Amino acid sequence: PQTIYLSEYRVPAYLVDTVDLRFELFEDGTRVHSTLAVRRNPESDAGAAPLELDGDSLVLESVALDGKALSEGEYEDRGDKLIVESVPEQFELSVVTWIEPQNNTRLEGLYKSSGMFCTQCEAEGFRCITFFPDRPDVMSRFRTRVEADKSAYPVLLSNGNDVERGDLGEGRHFVTWEDPFPKPCYLFALVAGDLVEKRDTFTTCSGRDIDLRMYVEPRNAEKCDHAMDSLKRSMRWDEETYGREYDLEIFMIVAVDDFNMGAMENKGLNIFNSSCVLASQETATDVAFQRIEAIVAHEYFHNWSGNRVTCRDWFQLSLKEGFTVFRDSQFSADVGSPTVKRIEDVNVLRTAQFAEDGGPMAHPVRPASYMEISNFYTLTIYEKGAEVVRMIHTLLGPDMFRKGSDLYFQRHDGQAVTTDDFVRAMEDASGRDLSQFRLWYEQAGTPVLDVSDEFDSGQGIYRLTIRQSIPDTPGQTGKKPQHIPFALGLLGSRGESLPLRLESDSQDAPTERVLELTGETHVFEFHGLNECPVPSLLRQFSAPVRVRYPWTREQMLFLMSHDPDGFNRWDAGQRLAVDVIQSLIGAPKDSSIDARLVAAYRHLISDSSLDQALVANMLQLPSAAYLIELAESADAPAIHEARERVLKHLAIALRDDLVACYRRNLEEGDYAVTPEQIARRSLRNTALAWLLQINDEEGRELAQRQFRNSDNMTDRLGALRALVNSDYEEDRERVLEEFYERFQEDPQVVEQWFSVQAASDRAGQLPQIRALLEHRAFDWKNPNKIRSVVGAFAGQNLAAFHRPDGSGYNFLADQVCRLDDSNPQIAARLVTPLTRWKKFAPAHSELMKSALERIRDKSGLSRDVYEVVHKSLA
Ligand code: DPP
Ligand code: ZN
C-alpha cells in the first residue's frame, strides 16, 4: 500500500458546487445517479488537468458530460479512479453506478443493517457510493432523492430539509432532501427503513423552533428518552457556553445495530451505533447512560466544530475531534461531577493513549503520513488532541479562550481548515504567542517531567527543579522542549494550602499557580516558607505528561487525605496502590502488605462525610492495563497476581466495613442518573465485588438478592459480574443463564452479557471464549458482538490473554485473519493488544511477535491491517 504525506498536500484541481443524487434502492442492489456541477479551482495551478474522481467497489454504468454520454475512450475506469482526460473549465458530469449494499460487510459507504439501509462515509466511504473527489476540502451543496419500496422502507432520510415527497407506482415512493449548507462528502448520509419516529422540539436562543426526531426500530421505541434529553441539554449548553446556535430546521438521530464506530455527525442526520444511543433503566448501566449523553453531545457539537468548520485534509482530523472531545468533556463536567469526569478522562489517557504514544503506532496529534486513514481514529487524535485544546484553555483562561473560539468560528465558517488555523485564531484573539506550543501537534510521544526539590530552611526557600524530555518515537528523534502548563500547590504539615510566593511577588501570593515550562530545565523558588512543604504537582492533570518525583508513601498518604485538589487526591491514592502492588510483583507469597494501605482504604470506605463520588473512584484499584503501561518489561500474569493479592488482602481486612458500606448505600428512592446515586451504586457494587473475591457467604447472598431484585441494569449487572468473577461456580452458571433468558431479545444487553464473560478470568478462558463465538447470539457481521467477545477478551482479560503458552495471542491472530476479509476496519482495531509486544517480558513478547507475523503472512491482507502489523513489526 501507498503512504500519503501531509507534505504532498495540494489544493483540489476541481471543485464541485452542487451534487444532485438519486438513489434507487432495491433488494438486489442500488442504482446511484449522480450529477455534479464541476469547475476548475481558481486556487489550483493544475490548469486543465484531467478530472480524477475516487471510487471503490463500484460498477460504472454510464458517464455523461454536459448531458452528452461519453464513450469508453473518453474516460477511464480504473476501479479506484474515474478519469476524464479532457474537460472544459466548467461542466456538469453525470455518473450512474451500481452498488450492492446487501453484500457490504465492511460497513463503509451504503450498507444494510437489520433490514434498513444506512451509510457511513467518514473518512472515505462516499467513494463506495459513487465516483467523487472524496476529500474534505471539496464542499458541495447536496440534493438527494431517495426511492424505495414504500412498505419495506416507509422512512427515507438524508441531510437537510425534506422538500418533496410522493408515490412512484408499483408500491414505490420517494423523498427529496436538500441541505443548504455546503459540506464535504464524508458528512453525507442516507437512511431507509421501517422505523418509528420520536419527536420533540427545541427553541433556540434566537427563538427558532427546531424539529428534533429520533428514528429507531419499533422494539427500541422505549429507549429514546435519555438521548433526546441529552440532545436538548447539549443544544442549550452549546448556545450558552460557545454561543453556537443550531442552523437547520430539523435535527435527526438514527440508531443502527451494525456500525463500525460509536456515532457519526452527518449534517442534520446523526447516525448512532445502537449501543451509544439507546437506553432504559432496565437495560442500560450508569456508565452507558453517561456515555450516551457524552456521545450525543459530541456529535451535536460537531455541527459547528467539524461541519460548519471542517478539516482541510485528514491529517487535520484532530482539528474537529480534539476540539469536540474537549467540548464534550466540558459539557459532561458541567452536567455531572467535574472531578470524576477528569479522573475518568485521565484514566483512559494514561492507560491507553500513553501506551499508544509509547508504541509502534505512535503518531503526532497532526500526523505527517498514513497508509489507511481509518487507522488514525486514535486515542492520540481524540484524547491527546483534546488535552492539547485543554492546555490552550488553561494558558489563555476561559474568557480569552471563548474569544478565540468565537474568532475561529467566525473566520472559518464554511471553510475546510487546519489545526494551525485553530491555533492562530487563539493567538489572534488573545495576543499570546503559541509558536512553541504548536510542537504539541507535531511531536509524538509523551513528555516526561523529572521533578526534584529541596528546602533551604535557613532562608525559607523551597526550590523545585523540573526537567522535561520527550522520548523518541518511530521516525522522530531529538525532540524540542514543549510549552507545558504545570499547575501546582504546596501544602503545610497540617494540610493547609501555602502561598506560592515567587521572588518577584508581593505579599499576597496565590495558593495555586500554573507554571509555564518552555525550556529543558526550570528552577522555581518559593519564598517565605517555615517548613518543607508537600508538593501537589500537575493539579487537574494540567498537561498530558508523565511526572517523575520521588514521592514517599507518607507524602502519598498525606495528599490522599489533604490535597484540596480532588483529582490529585485520587491520583495520590492511585500512586500509593501502584507502589504497593509493584512492590509485590514477583515477591514471595508471604511478603507483607503495607498496613497503611488498609488504613487508608478503611478511612475511605467508612467516613461518609467524604465526597462519595470521589470515594467511589478512589476505591478502584489501578487496572492491570495501567500497571502494564507503567512497567518497563511487563510480566502480565505476575502483575495480575500481585493486583489480585492486594485486592483480596484489602477485602479480608475490610470485610465488615464493606458489608456496612453496602448496607449504608442501599436505600436511594427512585432511580436517577445523578452523581450522588451513581456514587452509591458504584460503592455498593464495589463492596459486592470485593466480598465475592474472598468467598464471603453474606456477600454471596447479597449479590444473589441484588441480582434478582434490582430495578436497574447497573445493579443487576454489578451483581452478575461479582458472581461471575467469584469461585461460586454453580452460581455463576445459573445467573448467566437466567440473565440471558431474560434479556436475550435485547442486543445491547446481550453485548454486556458477552463482555462480562469475555473479560473474566473465571468465565473467559479460551475454551469458553470459543463457545461464545459459537453462541447463537454471536454474529461475525456485527462489530459490537466482536468487540464484546474478542475485544473484551484481548483488552480486558489479561490473565487469559497473556497465558504463557501463547494460546491467547494465536487466538487473536486467527480472529483478525478471519475478519480481515469481511471488515478490515474492525480487524485492524483488534490487532491493538498485539502491537504492544515490545512492552512485555521476553517470553511473552516473542510469542506476541510471532502472532503478529502470522497475521502479516496471511494472503490478501487489507491495507488497514497491513499498516498496523507492518509498523508494529518494524
Ligand atoms: N467523527 C466521528 C466522531 O468521532 C467518528 N466517525 O464523532
Ligand atoms: Zn467526533
Could you report the per-residue pLDDT of 692-749, keeping only the tens digit for each? 999 999 999 999 999 999 999 999 999 999 999 999 999 999 999 999 999 999 999 9
pLDDT, tens only, 144-195: 999 999 999 999 999 999 999 999 999 999 999 999 999 999 999 999 999 9
Confidence band, pLDDT 50/70/90 cuts, at residue 667? confident
In short, whether 295's Cβ falls inside 6 Å of ligand 1 is no
* pLDDT above 90 (res 503): no
Pairing of strands 416-417, 310-311: parallel
* SS3 state at 109: strand
Could you tell me if the CB of 293 is within 6 A of ligand 1?
A: no
669: pLDDT strictly greater than 90: no
- Per-residue pLDDT tens for 41-80? 999 999 999 999 999 999 999 999 999 999 999 999 999 9
Residue 792 has pLDDT above 80, yes or no: yes
Question: 740 vs 536, 776, 834, CA distance in Å?
Answer: 48, 12, 31
Per residue in 376-402, pLDDT tens?
999 999 999 999 999 999 999 999 999
| CA 32 from centre of chain | 33
State the distance from the centre of ligand 2 to the C-alpha of 244, rounded, in angstroms: 17
| Distance between Cα 171 and ligand 1 center (Å) | 36
Give the chain's largest Cα–Cα span. 95
What are 243-257's pLDDT values in tens digits? 999 999 999 999 999
**Mean pLDDT value of segment 309-332:** 99
pLDDT of residue 505: 76
pLDDT tens, 768-790?
Answer: 999 999 999 999 999 999 999 99
Catalogue all structural domains in the chain, each as residue range(s) with its CATH number: 1-106+121-194 (2.60.40.1730), 310-442 (1.10.390.10), 448-549 (2.60.40.1840)
Angle, CA of 233, 298 and 315, to the nearest 5°: 155
Ligand 2 midpoint to CA 302 (Å) = 7
Burial of 397 (0-12, 13-18, 19+ CB in 10 A): exposed
d(CA 401, CA 427): 10
pLDDT in tens, 254-269: 999 999 999 999 999 9
Active-site annotation holder among 124, 147, 299, 383: 299
What pLDDT does residue 392 have?
99
Contact 247, 181 (CB under 8 A): yes
Mean pLDDT in residue range 1-20? 98
pLDDT, one tens digit per residue, over 735-770 is: 999 999 999 999 999 999 999 999 999 999 999 999
Ligand 1 center from residue 710 Cα (angstroms): 35
Q: What is the pLDDT of residues 398-409, one digit of tens each?
A: 999 999 999 999
Phi, psi (deg, nearest 5) at residue 97: -130, 160
Angle formed by the axes of helices 713-724 and 286-301, to 10°? 120
What integer pLDDT is reported at residue 504 of this predicted model?
79
Model confidence, pTM:
0.99
pLDDT at residue 84 tops 90 = yes
Residue 668 has pLDDT above 80, yes or no: no
pLDDT tens track for 206-253: 999 999 999 999 999 999 999 999 999 999 999 999 999 999 999 999
pLDDT of residue 508: 83
Quote the DSSP letter at residue 246. Answer: -
Q: In what order do the strands lie in the sheet with 81-84?
A: 51-54, 81-84, 75-77
Q: How would DSSP label each residue in 620-637?
A: SPPPHHHHHHH-SSB-HH
Residue type, 106: R
351 pLDDT above the threshold of 80: yes
Length of the chain (residues): 874
Q: Is 265 in the pocket of ligand 1 (CB under 6 A)?
A: yes
Pocket lining: 217 vs ligand 1, CB cutoff 6 Å: no
DSSP 6: G
* Spatial separation of the C-alpha atoms in residues 39 and 42, rounded to whole Å: 9
Pairing outcome for strands 196-203 and 190-193: unpaired
59: enclosing H helix or E strand: strand 59-65
Mean pLDDT for all residues in the chain:
98
Q: Does ligand 1 lie within 6 Å of residue 124's CB atom?
A: no
Alpha-carbon distance of 230 to 224, in angstroms, equals: 10
Residue located nearest, by CA, to atom 6 of ligand 1: 264
Greater confidence (141 vs 504) lies with 141
Structural contact between residues 799 and 627, judged by C-beta atoms closer than 8 angstroms: no
For residue range 455-471, what is the model confidence (pLDDT) as tens digits? 999 999 999 999 999 99
CB atoms within 10 A of CB 809: 24
pLDDT computed for residue 151 by the predictor: 98
For the chain, the straight-line distance linking the first and the last C-alpha, in angstroms and rounded, comes to 15
pLDDT at 591: 93
What span, in angstroms and rounded, lies between the C-alpha atoms of 428 and 421?
10
Report angle CA 672, 675, 681 to the nearest 5 degrees: 70
Q: Which atom of ligand 1 is nearest to the CA of 299?
A: 7
Q: Do 28 and 102 touch, CB atoms closer than 8 A?
A: yes
Sequence-ordered alpha helix ranges (H) in 725-830: 729-743, 747-758, 766-774, 783-786, 792-796, 798-801, 807-820, 824-830
* 299 included as an active-site residue: yes
